[in-house]
Chains A and B, each alone.
Chain A
Amino acid sequence: EVQLAESGGGLVQPGGSLRLSCAASGPIFSSYWMHWVRQAPGKGLVWVSGIDSDGRSTNHADSVKGRFTISRDNAKNTLYMQMNSLRAEDTAVYYCVREGWFGESYGMDVWGQGTTVTVSS
């Protein structure tokens, strides 16, 4: 059974940078789309970024476009998120999520436990 473990969160000043990592254990990481989903304190889930199985196609929410970059290293079974020009509104728990095939459609099937990013001076 696949497990996802995020790391790299922490406290950073506005305008600063941070790199999140997500280590996947279990089979066939390289076969799946992967995503980052975030949750601000007391708020709902928001999709942030996604990357296809071989890393050639990525997409980002408008709120982070141009500041965040999702990437992956399939040889290391690891997903990344480079976060630049951080703002207070980026403060959230960031979840690493796998997108799996359910028979008729794709959906988010495996979630990590999340890593907390706090942007504050």
Chain B
Amino acid sequence: SYELTQPPSVSVSPGQTARITCSGNALPKNFAYWYQQKSGQAPVLVIYEDNKRPSGIPERFSGSRSGTMATLIISGAQVEDEADYYCYSTDRRRVFGGGTKVTVL
């Protein structure tokens, strides 16, 4: 079965850069999406098709994909970016990564 693997947690100081990785065997052939989920809220799309930002998402959010790895980058992380982040991709089945808790302190 297809799996996407993320680190459980990432910590970053305010103003610094956070990098969240997502690895999966089907990523060389499929786009990655990233969702932000704050406590008690529904997920929100922050990156689609590897590196594109939906309207309303701050420019500090960016993404990349190379080989079996996709990466979400938060440049100049803010306290309000503290949340769980999930990668998502498809390989016949729809699959989410296990999620990464980002702490900004």
**Chain A residues numbered 50-66 whose CB sits less than 8 Å from any CB in chain B:** 50, 59, 61
Question: Are A107 and B31 CB-contacts (below 8 A) given A44-B86, A46-B96, A102-B48?
Answer: yes
B contact residues around A102 at 8 Å (CB): 48-49, 52
Contact residues of B: prevailing secondary structure: strand
Number of A-B contacts (CB under 8 A): 56
Q: Find B99's partner among A35, A45, A112, A113 (CB 8 Å cutoff).
A: A45
Question: Are A47 and B49 CB-contacts (below 8 A) given A107-B31, A111-B43?
Answer: no
With both chains docked as a complex, state the minimum distance between the C-beta of A47 and any C-beta of chain B, in angstroms: 4
B contact residues around A44 at 8 Å (CB): 84, 86, 96-99
Q: Count chain B residues whose beta carbon lies closer than 8 angstroms to a beta carbon of A.
A: 23
Q: How far is the CA of A64 from the CA of B70 in the complex (A)?
A: 29
Q: How far is the CA of A118 from the CA of B17 in the complex (A)?
A: 39
Contact residues of A: prevailing secondary structure: strand
> B95 at interface (Cβ–Cβ under 8 A)?
yes
Q: Write the B30-54 contact mask toward A (1 if CB under 8 angstroms, else 0).
A: 1101010100001111001100100
Contact between B52 and A35, CB atoms less than 8 A apart = no
Question: Are A104 and B31 CB-contacts (below 8 A) given A95-B42, A109-B45?
Answer: yes
Q: Write the B73-96 contact mask toward A (1 if CB under 8 angstroms, else 0).
A: 000000000001010101001111
Q: Which among B30, B43, B44, B49 has the highest number of chain A CB atoms within 10 Å?
A: B43
Q: Write the A43-86 contact mask toward B (1 if CB under 8 angstroms, else 0).
A: 01111001000000001010000000000000000000000000
**Chain A residues numbered 5-47 whose CB sits less than 8 Å from any CB in chain B:** 35, 37, 44-47
Q: Write the A89-103 contact mask toward B (1 if CB under 8 angstroms, else 0).
A: 000000100000011
Residue of A nearest to B97 (CB): A44
> A105 at interface (Cβ–Cβ under 8 A)?
yes
- B: which residues have CB within 8 A of A? 30-31, 33, 35, 37, 42-45, 48-49, 52, 84, 86, 88, 90, 93-99
- A: which residues have CB within 8 A of B? 35, 37, 44-47, 50, 59, 61, 95, 102-109, 111-114
